[in-house]
Amino acid sequence: MKSQNQEIDSNSMSMIRHLARLSDCIFAFAMALMVAGFDFPENTNLTDTQINSFLMEQLKPLRTYVITFVLVAVYWIAHSQQVSYYLRTDETYLWIGLVYLMCLFMIPFSNDLLMSFSENLMVKIWFSVNICLIGLLSFIGWTYATYNHRLVDVNLDKKIIVITRIKALIEPACAVVSIGVAYINQALWDYVWLIPPVVYFLVERFHKDGKSQPRVGA
């Protein structure tokens, strides 16, 4: 017969799998819904010149879509990596995870606003705050889970814990910077979002290189 602790751990692991599946669905829906921000001409009887003009007008929304998609993709990678370390969960972490997903599901709305009102300062700030909240909740969830190895293996390397915390703060930090940039020069705001993916993968590369380095005296 299973002990009570084994049953609790089994139920906890089941909840982790349910949360992971829900997270994957939310990420997939958010990524899919972002396409809805593109315009489509009401009149389909257009000349080649009008079609070409319409396509050129979609370049800026396309840029916004690509930026948002990459940001969400980075969050999905980070979230998947975090979940892979969990051995159990509790009600507090589940609520943190659900609020995280709630903010994530706001991304399509923020993306649509940005596509429609790309020159509006408050829209850009709204988008930055949305991105910032997602990252902060990711950081809070990971910090809660790893504090005293609450939800992870007691032997989990502290370097992994620290590196994962750093990665969780990359996009929120850039989001805060983007708000300041938007006040100074809105034209530069878009370019701030090129930083998070680059920094994220540099940190990931540094972490992998660090693990592959042989120990002195080994």
Going by pLDDT thresholds of 50, 70 and 90, the confidence category of residue 11 is confident
Instruction: Indicate left, alpha or beta for 39 from its phi (over 0: left) and psi (-120 to 50: alpha).
Output: beta
pLDDT of 61-74, one tens digit each?
A: 788 888 889 889 98
How would you label 92-113 residue by residue, b for 16+ Cβ within 10 Å and e otherwise?
ebeebbeebbebbebbbbbbbb
Q: Is the pLDDT of residue 216 over 70?
A: no
pLDDT value of residue 197: 84
Q: What is the pTM of this model?
A: 0.81
Which residue has better confidence, 21 or 144? 144
Which residue has better confidence, 93 or 206? 93
Q: Could you tell me the residue ranges of all domains in the chain?
A: 4-36+51-212
pLDDT of 83-102, one tens digit each?
A: 989 988 888 999 999 999 99
Determine the Cα–Cα distance for residues 119 and 47; give it in Å rounded to an integer: 29
Vertex 52 angle, CA 51 and 56, to 5°:
115
pLDDT value of residue 175: 94
pLDDT of 112-168, one tens digit each?
A: 898 888 889 999 999 999 999 999 999 999 999 999 999 999 999 898 999 999 989
Determine the Cα–Cα distance for residues 22 and 42; give it in Å rounded to an integer: 36
pLDDT of 28-43, one tens digit each?
A: 888 888 877 666 766 6
